[in-house]
Structure 1
């Protein structure tokens, strides 16, 4: 799997909905461009087999986190994610051993688990925020990533390693028909859902990611977009 399919997919592939009715719809080519920009950004920090990105995801899965995750996985890096739980939405996953970089939303850059990180990339959650108000000890993702080109000279392919909690995920092993229908996530996908989720997305399937949206509203929105293939993450009962 790579970006070859979504880069040619017309229409939105990613619908992101945040708190306070914040929203963003990304077409396949635009999503691919953002991933390429992420490859450029992390490439300046030696992105490759020895590069580890820690994404604790305390606020659920944001579209910028998805871009960062794919940028690293498709460029042969290693991603360590927080593991979703039914109680809090994400468990207090320990930071990786050895050298690592971290990727967190604004307000979480002071997490003590990030103290050993080589660099801490901080993004501003509002969908179209152009910058992140952090000091020089941190990297302003929203501003920095826009400086990189929409294309990368690297050959991108599914060679990276994905760790969720303490479990290595075989994320390239997804159903061949995973591009059909809409996947709806009301929280971070559970560990056993990541292969289906990433396979669906990279094959041009539509995905709705919601952060802070109640179940009735997200269900109504999903049904208005088309046929719902399945639900990801922990849902309120």
Structure 2
């Protein structure tokens, strides 16, 4: 898997809904452009087989975290997702967190801490010089990358390596709806679905009734990801 399909997919493929009615609908080419920008940003910090990005996910999966995860996985890097306060990875690593979590004690040994401002259209992140303002920095990189991107990266969830490329060939059909971070066994389905141009609703702090209404207006729901209360 790579960006070849999603970069040519018309219409919105990722519907992000955050707290306080924050929202963003991203087309396939826009998702691909953000991933390419992420490759450029992390490329300045030696993105490759020896690059590890720790993503603790303290507030549930955000669309910017998803872009960062794909940028690293498609450029042969390693992503470690935090679950239930799991520790930082051993060895050298970088971290990617929302504003307000940059002082997490697990990040004290990180080589660099990338901090994003959660509101959908925030252009910058007010952090001091010890941290990297993702919202501002990533916009400086081009929408395309000269790198050959392919699914060669490593994904670790809950201490277990996830075979994230093992998704069914028909995984672009229907709509995937997530009300929290996908579980370890769901990442292959989720990423395969997205990269093949499938539609996904990614919610963060959104009422379940609103998610159901939105999903119902978009089409047939293929599946629900993450933990739901009902």
The TM-score bracket by the shorter chain reads over 0.9
- Deviation of 1:221 (Å): 1.1
Q: Would you identify which runs of 4 or more consecutive aligned residues in structure 1 move more than 4 Å?
A: none
- Mapped partners of 1:225, 1:176: distance in 2: 22
Aligned position for 1:227: 220
Paired residues for 1:179-218 under 5 Å:
179-218=172-211
The match for 1:134 among 110, 122, 127 is: 127
Aligned position for 1:87: none
Give the SS at the match of 1:25.
strand
Tell me the TM-score normalized by structure 1: 0.96
Aligned position for 1:72: 72
- Mapped partners of 2:161, 2:29: distance in 1: 29
Q: Does 1:45 align with 2:38?
A: no
Q: Which ranges of structure 1 fall in alignment gaps of 5 or more residues?
A: 84-90
Give the SS at the match of 2:209.
helix
- Deviation of 1:214 (Å): 1.5
Paired residues for 1:81-96 under 5 Å:
81-83=81-83, 91-96=84-89
The one-character-per-residue Cα deviations of 1:8-57 (angstroms, maximum 9, x if unpaired) are: 00000100000000000000001000000000000000000000000000
- Deviation of 1:169 (Å): 0.1
- Mapped partners of 1:59, 1:220: distance in 2: 23
The one-character-per-residue Cα deviations of 1:83-129 (angstroms, maximum 9, x if unpaired) are: 3xxxxxxx011100000000000000010000000000000000000
- Deviation of 1:217 (Å): 1.4
Give the SS at the match of 2:213.
helix
Aligned position for 1:168: 161
* Residue-pair matches, total: 230
- Deviation of 1:233 (Å): 0.2
- Mapped partners of 2:154, 2:166: distance in 1: 13
- Mapped partners of 2:199, 2:182: distance in 1: 15
- Deviation of 1:184 (Å): 0.2
Aligned position for 2:19: 19
Q: What's the C-alpha RMSD, in Å, of the aligned pairs?
A: 0.5
- Deviation of 1:165 (Å): 1.3
